[in-house]
Amino acid sequence: MEQYILVIQAVSFLAGFVVSFTLNKTWVFSSKNSGRTYHELWKYAVLATANLVISGLFIWLLVDVYDQSAYISKLVVMVVIAAWNYFIFQKIIFK
């Protein structure tokens, strides 16, 4: 199992990405403009990548530099990212 951990991680990230994009596009923001799906997907992927980098950076800063709890740091960062994602999804990606 250990030798497949990176493959499992990649597959789970990809599955989560596809499900998240699909639910946000169709259910949360009701974006029915199918001609823009590729454009929306591209912007969504860029934001997901930025979120990964930014969340890692801020969790590292809070835990290693400011000596905060890893659990609290993760919670704070994820709440902030969820709020900013909603705004970006609504105003930029699925407008």
CB 55 within 8 A of CB 81: yes
CA distance 42 to 23: 16
Per-residue pLDDT of the chain (95 residues; tens, 9 = 90+): 577 888 898 899 999 999 999 999 999 999 887 789 999 999 999 999 999 999 999 999 999 999 999 999 999 999 999 999 999 999 999 98
Q: Considering its fold, how many domains does the chain have in total?
A: 1
The residue range of the domain holding 75 is 2-93
CA distance 85 to 76: 14
CA distance 73 to 71: 5
